[in-house]
Amino acid sequence: MTTFHFELVSPERLLFSGEVESVVVPGVEGLFEVLKDHAPVMSILKAGIVEIFATLTKAPERLVVRGGFADVAASGLTLLADGATPLEQFDMAQLAQDIRDAEDDLADAKTDEEMKVASQKLDQLNELKLALGA
């Protein structure tokens, strides 16, 4: 199978850059797989797991993303993630604490704007929890 260039970038650092055979991406409209010569598309990422197949015969590298954007172009795939962590380094206890904090923020919200922001954050965290099977 042929390869294409893939980069995963978070605000903190470049997490992956290299040639891959396939990447499974958690888009807001559902999971989608990118292979070489995929049609150009831009998508919003939802919280979930990105699976990177350097070769289809090896187990994928898995990274947890917290939203962002995906850009599929002739030059390859670029994910600009709001946050990303290798799955094996992801802290489930911290996620549980973040959910509790977001629930508190929602309960303490005084204005419609505060409620909207807190609700969106809580929804994103719960999506991530669901994607991780927790």
Domain at 26, CATH number: 2.60.15.10
Are 51 and 83 in the same domain? yes
Are 73 and 39 in the same domain? yes
Radius of gyration from C-alpha coordinates of the chain: 16
Alpha-carbon distance of 119 to 115, in angstroms, equals 6
Are 26 and 66 in the same domain? yes
Alpha-carbon distance of 60 to 39, in angstroms, equals 23
Are 12 and 76 in the same domain? yes
Are 98 and 83 in the same domain? no
- Going by C-alpha positions, the residue among 16, 3, 6 that lies closest to residue 86 is 16
Are 8 and 72 in the same domain? yes
Q: What is the pLDDT of residue 130?
A: 85
Alpha-carbon distance of 42 to 78, in angstroms, equals 10
Could you say which residues of the chain have pLDDT below 70?
1, 56, 134
Number of domains in the chain: 2
| Strand blocks (E) in the chain | 4-9, 14-20, 22-27, 30-34, 41-53, 61-73, 76-81, 84-86
Q: What is the pLDDT of residue 31?
A: 93
Are 110 and 81 in the same domain? no
Q: What is the pLDDT of residue 110?
A: 92
pLDDT tens digits, 81-92 = 998 989 888 888
Q: What is the pLDDT of residue 12?
A: 87
Which domain does 25 fall in, by range? 4-87
